[in-house]
Amino acid sequence: MKFFEIKNIQKVILTSSLGLFLLPLISCEEEAVQNLPTRNWELVWSDEFEGNAGTLPDASKWTYDIGTGTNGWGNQELEYYTKRTDNVKLDGTGNLVITAKKENYSGSAFTSARIKTQGLFSQTYGKIEARIKTPYGPGIWPAFWMLGDDIGTVGWPQSGEIDIMELKGNIPNVVYGTLHGPGYSGGAAKTKSYGLQNSRFDQDFHVFGIEWKENQIDFFVDGFLYQRVTPKDVTGEWVYNNPFFLILNVAVGGNFVGFPTDGTSFPQNMYIDYVRVYKAK
């Protein structure tokens, strides 16, 4: 469903418990300008996920998508999203845990959670980041992303979508940053990947973020700028000058990642240490 583009591809063979992969990594030429201007940010919203183990996240900050959506949330996903602590809870050590499980529930073979700030908090421009340790395995699809507040009136993709981090669980050392908008959605989205050469995103926490202003969105992993998108880079309307809300979820199956296999172990957990939103001073 979503593809990436990398110029002058460097390839490296990586081994892991999931097998042998030949993966593309960004080249030296693609290491976009890292001498960034000094930015002064003011924190305007955050969740550090402090609280008692086994409790749901702060209800003043997060709400939920429930069920299977239409056509598997438009992606042929297999899970049923719930708000049970079986699928989403604080771990008592400062993390939120979203858990995908293999179980029969309301006609679905899997359960998980998808939490969002819709109706509670949204932001136009600024710095948005989260510190996350991802799950892994064939058919596992973790994501940290945003949708335009006006999705209920204008629909998707006119509302715009900013995928700050997505990962295909069978390729656990590569993440994707993507924009979907009118004329460049689905397989035609504006997207790029970022790869780790000697590690995987399920082995430790990493910080995924964007810096967003009127005519530019920069994508970062651990402070490294790997993609910059401006209005001239998309093939349709630039729809990123309105408020967007935040979403965290772990999907099972779907067009982007394919289906789980016998090699996919369950449960799978995504750990989120924090989500922070800043505005420019």
Positions annotated as catalytic residues are 161, 166
* Beta strands at 224-229 and 244-252: parallel, antiparallel or unpaired: unpaired
Place of tokens 């750990």: 271
Which of these, 249, 149, 158, 163, lies nearest to 212 by C-alpha position?
Answer: 163
Residue type at position 255: N
Backbone φ and ψ of 258, nearest 5° = 80, -165
Cα atoms found within 13 Å of the Cα of residue 251, Cβ hemisphere only: 26
In terms of Cα–Cα distance, which of 138, 161, 129 is closest to 264? 138
Q: Which residue has the tokens 């973790």?
A: 142
Integer-rounded Cα Rg, in Å, for the chain is: 18
The span from the CA of 258 to the CA of 93, in Å, is: 33
Nearest to 74 by CA among 223, 180, 221, 178: 180
How far is Cα of residue 122 from the mean position of the Cα atoms in its chain? 16
30 with 20: CB under 8 angstroms? Answer: no
Q: Which residues contact 232 (CB under 8 A, 6 or more apart)?
A: none
Taking the C-alpha atoms of residue 99 and residue 266, their distance in angstroms, rounded to an integer, is 9
